[in-house]
Amino acid sequence: MTQETQYTEDNIRSLDWKEHIRMRPGMYIGKLGDGSSPDDGIYILVKEVLDNSIDEFVMGTGKTIEVSIQGNKVIVRDYGRGIPLGKVVDVVSKMNTGGKYDTRAFKKSVGLNGVGTKAVNALSSYFRVESTRDGKSASAEFEKGNLTNQDLLDETTRRKGTKVTFIADESIFKNYKYRPEYIIRLLKNYVYLNPGLTIVFNGEKFYSENGLKDLLEDNNNQDDMLYPIIHLKGEDIEIAMTHSKTQYSEEYHSFVNGQNTTQGGTHQAAFRESVVKTIREFYGKNFEASDVRKSIIAAVSIKVMEPVFESQTKTKLGSTEMGGDLPTVRTYINDFIKTNLDNYLHKNPQVAEKLQRKILQAEKERKELSGIRKLARERAKKASLHNKKLRDCRIHFGDTKQEDYLNTTLFITEGDSASGSITKSRNVNTQAVFSLKGKPLNSYGLSKKIVYENEEFNLLQAALNIEDGLEGLRYNNIVIATDADVDGMHIRLLLITFFLQFFPEVIKEGHLYILDTPLFRVRNKKETIYCYSEEEKKQAIQKLRGKPEITRFKGLGEISPNEFVHFIGDDIRLDPVMLDKEMSIDQMLEFYMGKNTPDRQKFIIQNLKVEQDLVEES
């Protein structure tokens, strides 16, 4: 007879605010990560602090925000009103405490849950807040949410405002580092949405004259735009849109009260619907919605009272109401676009003509592909039934009710041994594996027809669910996992070419990565060190002394599942694939995959993280 487990008052435990945040950080900031992804926790911490400074600007005070990141130390200084001095400690350490519960003061605020800076405080090994107002100053210092020091100055000549300094806790955010590209993207979004605001980051100034128009211009090559950006503004709404000459799918940047809703929501759905409806009425033709929206690049920003989001990290708007006396989100956006986009097209017949030609071309291509697409979908469905290519996971990107949806990952690998190692060592909840059969086709210069005709590409597209854009993307992270040799590098380039050619928004939105795996294992009887470079190997040999055993991994298949679990678990190292802003997508494709390009071979050799003799062996 088994012993019955006792369940008494002793089993009931109440966590205080900081313990709960530290025990379940994902509930408050999404995934943790090491800084290789734009939605990693360290950037959410920066954003939570910045949101408060932005709200001060929105309320009419503090036109400049200064941000400094040196190593792991982050400093954010605004020149707003400053936190009331008697509440400096409470605001950053007591749950459900903050000025945003009074909607008179923060009518259309970014954050309404009163959790932001408390989460930053609890998840930081060092946290300091200082507020200056009315010629006085108060400060408080914390370690992991515990108050260690506080001070009150009766007189100070410092300018009013708030200064927050923090160092994210390395015991929670393992081996993390801030990537300037992601910080700059975050700061630029703030200035696009707040004309008149200046943000200074490590001495570099960011300012926007034209809001969302600047966003589209900064994120897209001018030569790829079919027509000049249409820029429309209302009291609580701003729209910018154009169509790409070369891009196949739709690309959206959406915002609510200054919050970048990377997963869209009710406002983005309303925008997509309204654009189609308005264009149909303008031309007097019942175009297919997909033809109207094919290649669209757009940004939409709205302000609503007390927004409701579908997740703690506020990536998807759930609100259906604008608030106050305003109509629903859907009606408000529809009425605005119907009036303003229609007016614009009437006043700009050349744009209207180019747009119509684009829609008719999309219609023609869709009809030509319709038979192939149907067969391709059937093939993909049969393949998934037999589960030959894809070992799926249980949680998917978009499951915003699931805490781990931001961690969802698809590893694209080549060869049975490599895919077998990853499959056996993966987290079945959040990590899926797609096995390639040999080298993928070089898709440079080919039409989208090839995606449906080529089995590998068709099944990969189906696994990701990106045929019609990123709305249905099933994995937040798409990770290319190939060997660190010449063949592996070539496969990487072929896969990057596939995404650049047909789905560049996957790269633009920060979903594509390269898996960094160790080249060497250095060990003695007491310790094992995995090394990712020749330099790390030398350091490991010095540390272990004597004559440690050194193993060089020539391929992923040589790493056992027991070891592989380290490299795709908490200590995973990912290198994000980013677009070069100085080159158009066409120029990048030509450089890396065009014919007669010795530069490509040079690029491959220079970027291989292997010893020269391994390159020569290959």
Identify whether 59 is part of a domain.
Answer: yes
Task: State residue 75's pLDDT score.
Answer: 98
Domain termination residue (choose one: 188, 206, 224): 206
Identify whether 178 is part of a domain.
Answer: yes
Q: What pLDDT digit, counting tens, does each position of 491-548 carry?
A: 988 999 899 889 988 998 899 999 988 889 999 989 999 998 889 999 999 999 888 9
Q: What pLDDT digit, counting tens, does each position of 314-346 carry?
A: 788 888 888 777 789 999 999 999 999 999 999
Kindly tell me the burial class for residue 7, based on how many C-beta atoms sit within 10 Å of its own C-beta (0-12, 13-18, 19 or more).
exposed
CATH code at position 152: 3.30.565.10
Task: State residue 615's pLDDT score.
Answer: 38
Share of the chain above pLDDT 90, in %: 50
Least confident of 14-18, 142-146, 218-222: 14-18
Domain termination residue (choose one: 299, 332, 365): 365
Residue 363 has pLDDT above 50, yes or no: yes
Task: State residue 595's pLDDT score.
Answer: 62
Identify whether 377 is part of a domain.
Answer: no
CA distance 59 to 257: 13
Contact status, residue 257 vs residue 307, Cβ threshold 8 Å: yes
Tell me how far CA of residue 565 lies from CA of 359, 551, 552, in angstroms. 48, 18, 18
When mean pLDDT is compared over 109-123, 285-299, 370-384, the highest value belongs to 285-299
Task: State residue 429's pLDDT score.
Answer: 95
CATH code at position 491: 3.40.50.670
When mean pLDDT is compared over 12-26, 334-348, 374-388, 394-408, the highest value belongs to 334-348
- φ/ψ (deg, to 5) at 466: -120, 15
Residues 169 and 249 in one domain: no
Range of the domain at 91: 17-206
- β-pairing, 124-133 vs 161-168, is antiparallel
Residue with tokens 């678990």: 569
Task: State residue 13's pLDDT score.
Answer: 45
The dihedral through the CA atoms of 463, 468, 474, 478 has a sign that is positive
Q: What pLDDT digit, counting tens, does each position of 202-261 carry?
A: 999 999 999 999 999 998 888 889 999 999 999 899 999 999 998 888 899 999 988 899
Q: How many domains does the chain have?
A: 4
Residues 395 and 354 in one domain: no
Amino acid at 261: T
Identify whether 375 is part of a domain.
Answer: no
Nearest to 275 by CA among 257, 300, 246, 247: 300
Task: State residue 383's pLDDT score.
Answer: 66
Q: What is the mean pLDDT of residues 548-564?
A: 87
How many angstroms separate the most distant Cα atoms in the chain? 84
Q: What is the mean pLDDT of residues 447-459?
A: 89
Residues 548 and 559 in one domain: no
CATH code at position 265: 3.30.230.10
**SS3 track for 426-441:** CCCCCEEEEEECCCCC
Residue with tokens 């697409």: 373
Identify whether 437 is part of a domain.
Answer: yes
Q: What pLDDT digit, counting tens, does each position of 93-136 carry?
A: 876 545 444 444 455 665 544 568 999 999 999 999 999 998 99
Task: State residue 197's pLDDT score.
Answer: 96
**Using 50, 70 and 90 to split pLDDT, how confident is the model at 578?**
confident
Nearest to 503 by CA among 585, 398, 387: 585
Identify whether 370 is part of a domain.
Answer: no
Residues 140 and 74 in one domain: yes
Residues 199 and 221 in one domain: no
Identify whether 532 is part of a domain.
Answer: yes
Residues 531 and 485 in one domain: no
Residues 561 and 547 in one domain: no
Domain termination residue (choose one: 173, 206, 239): 206
Structure tokens at 382: 């049969």
Residues 161 and 134 in one domain: yes
User: In sequence order, which ranges of 306-415 are alpha helices (DSSP H)?
Assistant: 329-347, 349-386
Residues 217 and 171 in one domain: no
Task: State residue 320's pLDDT score.
Answer: 87
Structure tokens at 441: 């086709």
CA distance 592 to 589: 5
Identify whether 453 is part of a domain.
Answer: yes
Q: What pLDDT digit, counting tens, does each position of 596-609 carry?
A: 456 655 655 555 54
Residues 349 and 427 in one domain: no
- β-pairing, 296-302 vs 251-256, is parallel
Residues 235 and 259 in one domain: yes
Structure tokens at 611: 């010893």
- φ/ψ (deg, to 5) at 105: -80, -35
Residue with tokens 């997509």: 272
**Using 50, 70 and 90 to split pLDDT, how confident is the model at 263?**
confident
Q: What pLDDT digit, counting tens, does each position of 19-55 carry?
A: 888 888 888 888 888 999 998 999 999 999 999 999 8
Residues 320 and 248 in one domain: yes
- β-pairing, 390-391 vs 431-436, is antiparallel
